Amino acid sequence: MKDPTPVFKALADPTRRQILSALKKKELRAGEIVEMFTVSAPAVSRHLSILKAADLIIERRDGNSIIYRLQAENLALCLSEFISSVCPMEILQKRNKRTKL
């Protein structure tokens, strides 16, 4: 299992969670993300760097703009692996049986 520490550190901040939620809907330019918050552009840039370092988002250039996209599969895989490592299989199986009823 890949070290989940960067992901959990990234998820610990509510601003970063809001950024991830916004990126779930669509790709966003850096300026659009900055406009969503009352914090400074450098602060948002730092949040984006932390999310990028945790492999939760990727960026691409489009002219002078940087566009960000959610890497939802990386988040899901990390959380799934962590839950599987700490939860006994019996609990997960019981939960699945209850949801099927």
CB 73 within 8 A of CB 79: no
Q: Where are the domains of the chain?
A: 5-100
pTM over 0.85: no
Look at residue 66 in the predicted model and tell me its pLDDT: 96
Query: 């992901």: which residue's tokens?
Result: 7
Using CA atoms of 84, 15, 69, 34 in order, give the dihedral in degrees to the nearest 10. Answer: -170
**What is the fold of 5-100?**
Arc Repressor Mutant, subunit A (1.10.10)
Q: CA 24 to CA 69: how far, in whole Å?
A: 8
Q: What is the pLDDT of residues 33-90, one digit of tens each?
A: 999 999 999 999 999 999 999 999 999 999 999 999 999 999 999 988 888 888 766 6
pLDDT of residue 52: 97
